[in-house]
Amino acid sequence: MNQSNCRIRKAIDDDLPFIFNSWLKSYRFSHFGEKITNTIYFEDQHKVIDKILKTSEVYVACNIEDPSQLYGYIAVGEEEGVFVLHFIYVKHTFRNMGIGKTLLDAVGHDSSNASVYTHHTKVADKLSSKYNFVFHPYLLFDLETFNESS
């Protein structure tokens, strides 16, 4: 496959089952998720993803001729003018073909500016310095709630 067969479009409701399923399964064995029981992980991580999807921009990479054939997706936002990458996923079959970079480019990521990401994975270890990302999971928390209780 070459990038001319790839189209980037905003995610639609029909994409959500794929996004939830792949995000939950691929993040399950991250450093964060590996020690959590399945019951806790799947229930609570689903809530985290749901909140992110409602408050972020989500784009999918798909087949240009068949937009229902998904290659991957990206969930991004902005916090105080800083680019925030929540999650990026590319199906195994389509990895190392430039789809992840195409998704980053499509959402306007500029690696000359520091950016943050909220979900740490093994791939993030390799790519964070290349793309100038800093791990910042606390963006996922309502810190105001913590401040009120202290």
Q: Residue ranges of the alpha helices (H) in the chain?
A: 16-27, 38-55, 99-106, 122-127, 143-149
Q: Which amino acid is at 40?
A: I
pLDDT at res. 111: 85
Residue-range domains of the chain with CATH: 3-149 (3.40.630.30)
Neighbouring C-beta atoms of residue 135, cutoff 10 Å: 13
> Are 91 and 71 within 8 A, CB to CB?
yes
The packing angle between helices 38-55 and 16-27, to 10°, is 130
pLDDT at res. 140: 87
On the question of pLDDT at 104 being above 70, the answer is yes
Encoding tokens for residue 147?
Answer: 């401040």
Tell me the pLDDT tens digit for each residue of 37-74: 999 999 999 999 999 999 999 999 999 999 999 999 99
146: pLDDT confidence band, cut at 50, 70 and 90? very low
On the question of pLDDT at 91 being above 70, the answer is yes
Average pLDDT for residues 89-106, to the nearest whole number? 94
